[in-house]
Copies of this chain bind each other. A is one copy, B any other.
Amino acid sequence: MNANDAVQIDPKGRLRHLLTLNGLGRERIVGLLDRAAALRETWRDGELPPLLAGRTVMNLFFEDSTRTRTSFELAARRLGAAVINFDIARSSTNKGETLEDTLATLEAMEADAFIVRHKDNGTPARCAAHARRAAIVNAGDGNHAHPTQGLLDLLTIRDHKKDIEGLKVTICGDVRHSRVARSDIDGLAALGAGEIRICGPAALLPDRSEFPGCRIIEDFDTALAGSDVVIMLRLQKERMQDALGLAEADYFAAYGLTAARLARAREDALVMHPGPMNRGIEIADAVADGPQSVILEQVANGIFVRMAVLAALLADR
């Protein structure tokens, strides 16, 4: 746990913000997953309780991500909150206003939570440091963290595997630049995964020192062998050319998940992807749409873990 992370727990030990899964602890993570699963059951049985009635949630997306923003919006609205999608591109931050002033202004309008995405590591933590009353939820910052993605991945794995403890999980792709990978690793480690294998071309691998508890394996076939879960990351096409000097077909040949390759993992291995997918680059159609894919379940679970987080932050105060 670093200095920035500490800010997410209040003096009474309650979740004050959600910035990262790093240091959040097994018990708190399991609590959020349990709550998400309970909300999912309630939703499927009928109507959700208006846990967030009268609350205002603001989406502050400095980086576009319609799918994540929509997932947060639906989570908040289905629990009764009002949601404002604050259009940063047209806002005062473009007129020279500081981030702190924008936040203070919106908080003065009695926003209860801000969902923050930013290309720079630490922006959500910076918001949390300045928030007076509102809760900050990190919806992805740089390559630092994307904690609700981590939670939804954990929930999806837990739905299929009795226990996360002892599982072998392979994360393949551009781990170096991936906040999804980092939050997955934090979450999996907290819940006692047996082995986390990080796989990708050398140029896209993180420094070995960053993940002392993980195995770094350059060869994909080796990494897959015996895996219980395979998490494929989205490869940014720009990066493939610039950092790798690889054609798409070459990348796919080395790191694309095909049915043949997937056969090296355990027979009941789960295939996961945070989306949006580059079919034919990091994943083959037959796998993306195959029986082991739980990719759409990840999306569905995304809404329930975001409900659980917002409920923990706002409904329990």
- Give residues in A with beta carbon < 8 Å to B: 47, 54, 56, 64, 66-67, 70-71, 73-74, 77-78, 82, 84, 86-88, 90-92, 95-98, 101-102, 104-106, 108-110, 237, 275-279, 296-297, 299-300, 302-303
Contacts and interface: CB of A to CB of B under 8 A. Distances in A.
Chain B CB within 10 Å, residue with most, of A73, A78, A88, A277: A277
A101 B280 CA distance: 13
B101 A277 contact: yes
A88 to B, nearest CB: 8
B276 A95 contact: yes
Nearest to A299: B108
A82 B105 CA distance: 23
Contacts of A303: 109-110
Nearest to A66: B91
Identical copies of this chain, number:
3
13 contacts: A66-B87, A66-B91, A67-B92, A95-B276, A96-B276, A96-B278, A97-B276, A101-B275, A105-B296, A108-B296, A108-B297, A108-B300, A110-B303
A183 to B, nearest CB: 19
Contacts of A97: 275-277
A262 to B, nearest CB: 19
Q: Majority SS of interface residues in chain A?
A: helix
Closest 3 CB pairs of A and B: A92-B276, A97-B276, A108-B299
A224 B102 CA distance: 28
B84 A276 contact: no
A211 to B, nearest CB: 27
Contacts of A82: 74, 77-78
Given A92-B276, A97-B277, A70 B106 contact: yes
Given A74-B56, A109-B299, A276 B101 contact: yes
B296 A104 contact: yes
B91 A84 contact: no
A277 to B, nearest CB: 6
Contacts of A95: 276
A299 B104 CA distance: 9
